Structure 1
Amino acid sequence: MTTAHSRIDFTLPQGGAGARLRHAFGPPRDVLVARGLHEVRGVLDAVHAAAQAGAWCIGYVRYEAAAAFDTALQTHAADGPLAWFSVHDQALPWPDALGADAPAEVAWTPGLPRGEFDAALDRIQQAIRDGEVYQVNYTAPLHGALQGSADALFAALHRTQPEGYCAHIDAGGTQVLSVSPELFFDWTSDAAGGDILARPMKGTAPRGATPEADAAQAEYLRTAPKERAENVMVVDLLRNDLSRIAQPHSVRVPRLFHTQALPTVWQMTSDVQARTRAGTTLADVFAALFPCGSVTGAPKVRAMQLIRELEPAPRGVYCGAVGVVRPHGPPGEGGVAATFNVPIRTVVLQAQGAVVQATCGIGSGITSGAEAEAEWHEWRHKRAFVERASAAFDLLETLALDGGQLRHLADHLARMAAAAAHFGYPWDAARVQACLQALVVQHAQGAWRVRLLLDSRGAPRAEAFALQPTPTPVRLRLAHRAFDEADSEFVRHKTTRRAHYAAFAPTAPGVFDTLLWNRAGEITEGTFGNIAMRLDGRWVTPPLACGLLPGVGRAVALREGRVAEAVVRIEDLPRVDGWAFINSLRGWLPAELLA
């Protein structure tokens, strides 16, 4: 028998506010596997029967299983089992500490060059103009190799999406690490029928750098015609799909265009509900709904034909379904409950000898008028979740310790606490302050640069280095290209992950820092501090909405009225007649911009 273990942490959307299904599972008493299309329905029937008898079944259905329900739904040939479920007699407590101390790292490589992406979007737009489709969900994989523990990678992924539909399924040579925020369906059924909820997710916008910008992004998502059209098309598709198993006149849409805040993006969802007919089985539900229209497009048959034409390889578990089927209602009455996600935000690990290959799909729905540049950047925002989880990092604050006093301590602690909340790191203010106080006692005299770090377990540590005076004016040089990461969460929050800044660090002798600018041509910051400019007779600093770290020294200068916020573009630089570099460690340093 295949040894396997699984963990699930699912929101229960029909279980009341805050209801969750959070369990671990030991080795199964049975494993149900479909290797051919003709076996898929049989496996789902066996899963249904096992749950009716009191078992818990955890597993997945690959995207390529679609033709098992309708031969018109074309896909590539599958590269693994079409359906896989483990059967368990009981659910165990969730192991909170599992993977917390182990390392995990994946260096991801995009599987799609920009030229191929643009060509695919052109082909989809032509199909839309020709009336073949209204929308196509186009995807491509990221590839990498796991260094370290799958448990640790899942723990890191889980921190990026803690309120979604998360599952770690170990099927031996294949492991599925899904932290999808998207519900495929939640279904409870008994002898009289059942209640089913689908919650398709369509429409994406990046999170804003400030509360005001974040609210504006959410409002844009709610009101943008392109995003609403994308969502409505999928809702209509799901209404039609659900009608195949619904009692007459029971399909309804109680909620449209709901915006959901995720750590790196806003997403739009809508609810589609129905009352299923008596005698409906799990296989019937899949036959009506699979694959979810949010990952195919509309009409589903033609959209899937285009997906097969444009995507060179099978999607696998990505865009299929991952979930749990369990008993429902009084024992012995044969009721079942099934909750499945749409496995976006999902990493699949495959053992190949001594190497564990990792794959993660990224995609978006392409509608009429979709622009390649905007879709390409949407993909970049969507993959931020896996890039965040794929290498360990600490939260970081750099403070000045002078004569036994930590400068602007309250500001630094508030900023680190905000970063801890954003990244899901435990925060214990008393423990952090005790760590700092121990360091202050050891460095009560002189000037020191203090690095305060907080790891993913909430453990602080502090380091001190002698602080040397900085000769002024310091010299700045304008970056030779746009800083593409200006909208990254690793710019909005200070961490030890700084490769995006290091790529712009000055290399010429005598240059103190690089002056960065975003894709819109707006000045943002330096690689290790903020910037002030005297423009038209007043000192200004770029607003956070341009994409920069909310520096403590900058915040102090704003509070004191020394600077005001203003957007400064590259073409405005000839009018700047004064420069300053600002950070909490070194204060306000006069600067000059080199030609």
Structure 2
Amino acid sequence: MTHSCHIDFTQPLTAGATRLRHRFEAPREVLVAHALHEVSSVLDAVFAAAQQGRWCVGHVRYEAASAFDAALQTHAADGPLVWFAVYDAPQPGTDDAADAAAAATPAQVVWDDSPEREAFDAALAQIQQAIAAGELYQVNYTAPFRGTLQGSPQALFAALLRAQPGGYAAYLQAGDEQVLSVSPELFFDWLDAPEGGTLLARPMKGTAPRGATPEQDAQQAEHLRTAPKERAENVMIVDLLRNDMSRIALPHSVQVPALFATQALPTVWQMTSDVTARTRPGTTLTEVFAALFPCGSVTGAPKVRAMQMIRALEPAPRGVYCGAVGVVRPGGAAGPDGLHPVAATFNVPIRTVVLRGVGTGAGSGADASPVVAEATCGIGSGITSGAEAGAEWAEWHHKRAFVERASAPFEVLETLGLHHGKFVHADQHVRRMGEAAAHFGFAFNAHAVRQELQIAALQHRDGDWRVRLLLAADGSARAEAFALQTTAVPVRLQLAPRPFAAAHSEFVRYKTTRRAHYAAFAPTTPGVFDTVLWNEAGEITEGTFGNIAALIDGRWVTPPLSCGLLPGVGRAVALQDGHVVEAVLRVADIPRVQGWAFINSLRGWLDATLDA
């Protein structure tokens, strides 16, 4: 069994917060604790190995908590409580080539629909009853959702890194499991020293979705910073961490230098706070874990009662999720005794996928189907007295978006009109493609993209063409041309029979080849050109492949981006030219509409009718 590992961690205690990015192969040994009584001795061995100049990469399961305090109740573990591979040193150089190969290899995960909303609501009700009874202040309630991977685990990790860049990412080939963690949350960063160590914890508590526009995004961040519920949730955990850190801190050294900071992640805003301390001379890694583990942000407060409730409500062990994943390494030159100071950085493994049963599918050799594995990913949130089931359920879906983005390959897409060798609005399309590439973490070279368009134009000098411009994750672009048929006007539109649940998805705000959510609403009635979509608030948004305008109260209006729609190039041109203005248009307003239009860059403005 190979034990390859990869870490890509921020180093918050290092000047400039430089990244710790290394790969590891062929460990000299693997240290494993299967029983609670083995946990401390394995962590002691990890600490000793780092003092001797070695690098240790691994994880501590959430269920190891009882090894430090029997009052911290958990389910029985479903795997090793502690697992660390010990290496003499990282591999020289970087693994950019391996990353590029993995990124180019497809990987797909099909997830189930768990958990069920009814069970979720019931659990929240029990938690809030306990809070009302004065038993506790907060519980971090979580649930796993499960799926099946087809493709390379390394390719899935590369996709997860694009979906959740920065932070504290680790890939562990840990025995029978592969741990793919792209957590944005720091558990602790610790640098030991003879005169006392430096310890930083950065709990993450408080979440808001990203906005559809820069203005809405800023409003979401400000709401997160100022909302009493979010601030209360955060400060509860900060107080818990202050108390935990005081157990190993020099007197009066525990400080909170940053409180209620907001961090922009691709799919959500998160609130973090910093808690620092000076650890007592002679503190060991085991003592740091005994004081802090598990992180209060994934338990609740008080920790003992919150963990009792978690065990009662959650039917299965959490595993690596909500435990700790990290690296323990030499933190400087060896002293006179030949021992190095120790540096340790651990994340809280949220945004983490664990794979089991990795193997090939049917067939063998060249005929074998792609690697398949069971995948598990946990999602959770902190429940306080002010929590509302609907809002918490929505937060779970916002947090789940990172893994859904990574679970199937896709390309960024632009559709352009090419008329007798000349593109329509090419600059706007290339600019929008660049914005989408930046959002999804795709490589992007505007010059190379324009070259692809130029080649397509030279090859199709005559006639009218629909050109699909596609951008892959590695930055490679290609253009595909198809003959464009004339569209007879007015075109017929139909109203969607149900709300468009994906209206506020990033796969609506940015145009990609992932379009199943649109395809589900594509018209099937002969003669109908497109479907008018509307969101769960009853606001009209767009069509399945273009924007919508309506003549109402004597003016042409098009829905604002805040309703949940693609910022179409044709729409932008119509707004700039003053043909339309932005205004919310509701399904209830339809009887007052005097005229309809379909707008996109490819076909321009098409007069339309809406079927009653």
| Structures share fold, TM-score greater than 0.5 | yes
What is the rounded CA distance, in whole Å, between the counterparts of 1:378 and 1:503 in structure 2?
A: 24
1:28 partnered with 2:27: yes
1:293 partnered with 2:296: yes
1:38 corresponds to: 37
- Letter aligned with residue 14 of structure 1: L
Match of 2:209 among 185, 206, 211: 206
Match of 2:222 among 216, 219, 224: 219
Match of 1:233 among 228, 233, 236: 236
SS in 1 for 2:591: helix
CA contact (8 A) 2:416 2:602 kept: yes
Deviations 1:369-412 (A, max 9, x none): 21111111111110110010110000000000001100000000
**Once structures 1 and 2 are overlaid, which stretch shifts more, 32-41 or 508-517?**
508-517
Q: CA deviation at 1:17?
A: 2.3
SS in 1 for 2:410: coil
1:78 corresponds to: 77
- Letter aligned with residue 342 of structure 1: V
- Letter aligned with residue 372 of structure 1: A
Q: Which runs of 5+ in 2 are unaligned?
A: 361-371
Deviations 1:100-121 (A, max 9, x none): 2222110111331111011111
1:542 partnered with 2:548: no
Deviations 1:404-436 (A, max 9, x none): 100000000000000011111111111111111
CA contact (8 A) 1:190 1:334 kept: no
2:97 corresponds to: 97
CA contact (8 A) 2:130 2:136 kept: yes
The within-5 A match list for 1:476-491 is: 476-491=493-508
Q: CA deviation at 1:160?
A: 1.4
What is the rounded CA distance, in whole Å, between the counterparts of 2:10 and 2:254 in structure 1?
A: 22
The within-5 A match list for 1:306-321 is: 306-321=309-324
Deviations 1:115-160 (A, max 9, x none): 1011111111111111111110011111111101001000010111
What is the rounded CA distance, in whole Å, between the counterparts of 2:178 and 2:94 in structure 1?
A: 18
- Letter aligned with residue 557 of structure 1: A
Q: CA deviation at 1:353?
A: 6.1
The within-5 A match list for 1:246-285 is: 246-285=249-288
1:462 corresponds to: 479
- Letter aligned with residue 450 of structure 1: V
What is the rounded CA distance, in whole Å, between the counterparts of 1:3 and 1:519 in structure 2?
A: 49
What is the rounded CA distance, in whole Å, between the counterparts of 1:112 and 1:544 in structure 2?
A: 31
1:396 partnered with 2:413: yes
What is the rounded CA distance, in whole Å, between the counterparts of 1:508 and 1:427 in structure 2?
A: 39
1:114 partnered with 2:113: no
Q: CA deviation at 1:97?
A: 2.8
Question: How many residues get paired?
Answer: 594
CA contact (8 A) 2:53 2:339 kept: no
CA contact (8 A) 2:509 2:565 kept: yes
Q: Which runs of 5+ in 1 are unaligned?
A: none
Q: CA deviation at 1:20?
A: 0.7
SS in 1 for 2:502: helix
SS in 1 for 2:528: coil
What is the rounded CA distance, in whole Å, between the counterparts of 1:15 and 1:578 in structure 2?
A: 61
1:175 partnered with 2:181: no
What is the rounded CA distance, in whole Å, between the counterparts of 1:46 and 1:516 in structure 2?
A: 60
- Letter aligned with residue 4 of structure 1: H
Q: CA deviation at 1:521?
A: 1.2
What is the rounded CA distance, in whole Å, between the counterparts of 1:425 and 1:353 in structure 2?
A: 29
1:516 partnered with 2:533: yes
CA contact (8 A) 1:58 1:87 kept: yes
2:326 corresponds to: 323
- Letter aligned with residue 145 of structure 1: T
- Letter aligned with residue 114 of structure 1: R
- Letter aligned with residue 432 of structure 1: V
What is the rounded CA distance, in whole Å, between the counterparts of 2:85 and 2:384 in structure 1?
A: 38
Q: CA deviation at 1:316?
A: 0.3
CA contact (8 A) 1:494 1:549 kept: yes
What is the rounded CA distance, in whole Å, between the counterparts of 1:138 and 1:485 in structure 2?
A: 25
Q: CA deviation at 1:522?
A: 0.9
What is the rounded CA distance, in whole Å, between the counterparts of 1:130 and 1:514 in structure 2?
A: 51
Q: CA deviation at 1:474?
A: 1.1
The within-5 A match list for 1:374-385 is: 374-385=391-402
- Letter aligned with residue 401 of structure 2: A
SS in 2 for 1:17: helix
Q: CA deviation at 1:475?
A: 1.2
CA RMSD of aligned residues (A): 0.9
2:67 corresponds to: 68
**Once structures 1 and 2 are overlaid, which stretch shifts more, 330-339 or 436-445?**
330-339
- Letter aligned with residue 399 of structure 2: K
2:195 corresponds to: 192
What is the rounded CA distance, in whole Å, between the counterparts of 1:519 and 1:440 in structure 2?
A: 42
What is the rounded CA distance, in whole Å, between the counterparts of 2:42 and 2:283 in structure 1?
A: 16
Identity of aligned residues (%): 71
1:473 partnered with 2:490: yes
2:347 corresponds to: 341
Q: CA deviation at 1:86?
A: 0.2
The list of structure 1 runs, each at least 4 consecutive aligned residues, that deviate by more than 4 angstroms after superposition, is 352-355
2:459 corresponds to: 442
Q: CA deviation at 1:341?
A: 0.1
What is the rounded CA distance, in whole Å, between the counterparts of 1:306 and 1:363 in structure 2?
A: 14
1:506 corresponds to: 523
Q: CA deviation at 1:352?
A: 6.2
2:369 corresponds to: none
Q: CA deviation at 1:334?
A: 2.7
Deviations 1:446-480 (A, max 9, x none): 00000000001000000000000111111111112
2:151 corresponds to: 148
What is the rounded CA distance, in whole Å, between the counterparts of 2:498 and 2:11 in structure 1?
A: 47
What is the rounded CA distance, in whole Å, between the counterparts of 2:312 and 2:538 in structure 1?
A: 38
What is the rounded CA distance, in whole Å, between the counterparts of 2:382 and 2:494 in structure 1?
A: 40
- Letter aligned with residue 430 of structure 1: H
Match of 1:414 among 423, 428, 431: 431
2:8 corresponds to: 9
**Once structures 1 and 2 are overlaid, which stretch shifts more, 554-563 or 481-490?**
481-490
1:134 partnered with 2:118: no
What is the rounded CA distance, in whole Å, between the counterparts of 1:177 and 1:476 in structure 2?
A: 45
What is the rounded CA distance, in whole Å, between the counterparts of 2:301 and 2:416 in structure 1?
A: 54
Deviations 1:252-295 (A, max 9, x none): 10000100000010000000000000111000000000000000
**Once structures 1 and 2 are overlaid, which stretch shifts more, 399-408 or 18-27?**
18-27
Match of 1:302 among 291, 302, 305: 305
What is the rounded CA distance, in whole Å, between the counterparts of 1:97 and 1:109 in structure 2?
A: 33
What is the rounded CA distance, in whole Å, between the counterparts of 2:332 and 2:212 in structure 1?
A: 46
What is the rounded CA distance, in whole Å, between the counterparts of 2:549 and 2:17 in structure 1?
A: 45
CA contact (8 A) 1:191 1:334 kept: no
Deviations 1:288-330 (A, max 9, x none): 0000000000011111111111111000000000000000121
Question: So what's the TM-score if we normalise by structure 2?
Answer: 0.96
What is the rounded CA distance, in whole Å, between the counterparts of 2:489 and 2:509 in structure 1?
A: 28
What is the rounded CA distance, in whole Å, between the counterparts of 1:3 and 1:555 in structure 2?
A: 53
- Letter aligned with residue 496 of structure 1: T
What is the rounded CA distance, in whole Å, between the counterparts of 2:455 and 2:14 in structure 1?
A: 47
What is the rounded CA distance, in whole Å, between the counterparts of 2:302 and 2:566 in structure 1?
A: 44
What is the rounded CA distance, in whole Å, between the counterparts of 1:445 and 1:326 in structure 2?
A: 64
What is the rounded CA distance, in whole Å, between the counterparts of 2:460 and 2:326 in structure 1?
A: 54
CA contact (8 A) 1:7 1:94 kept: no
What is the rounded CA distance, in whole Å, between the counterparts of 2:392 and 2:112 in structure 1?
A: 18
What is the rounded CA distance, in whole Å, between the counterparts of 2:308 and 2:592 in structure 1?
A: 56
1:123 partnered with 2:126: yes
What is the rounded CA distance, in whole Å, between the counterparts of 2:414 and 2:115 in structure 1?
A: 37
What is the rounded CA distance, in whole Å, between the counterparts of 1:344 and 1:110 in structure 2?
A: 19
1:433 corresponds to: 450
- Letter aligned with residue 2 of structure 2: T
CA contact (8 A) 2:7 2:171 kept: yes
What is the rounded CA distance, in whole Å, between the counterparts of 1:105 and 1:97 in structure 2?
A: 21
1:356 corresponds to: 373
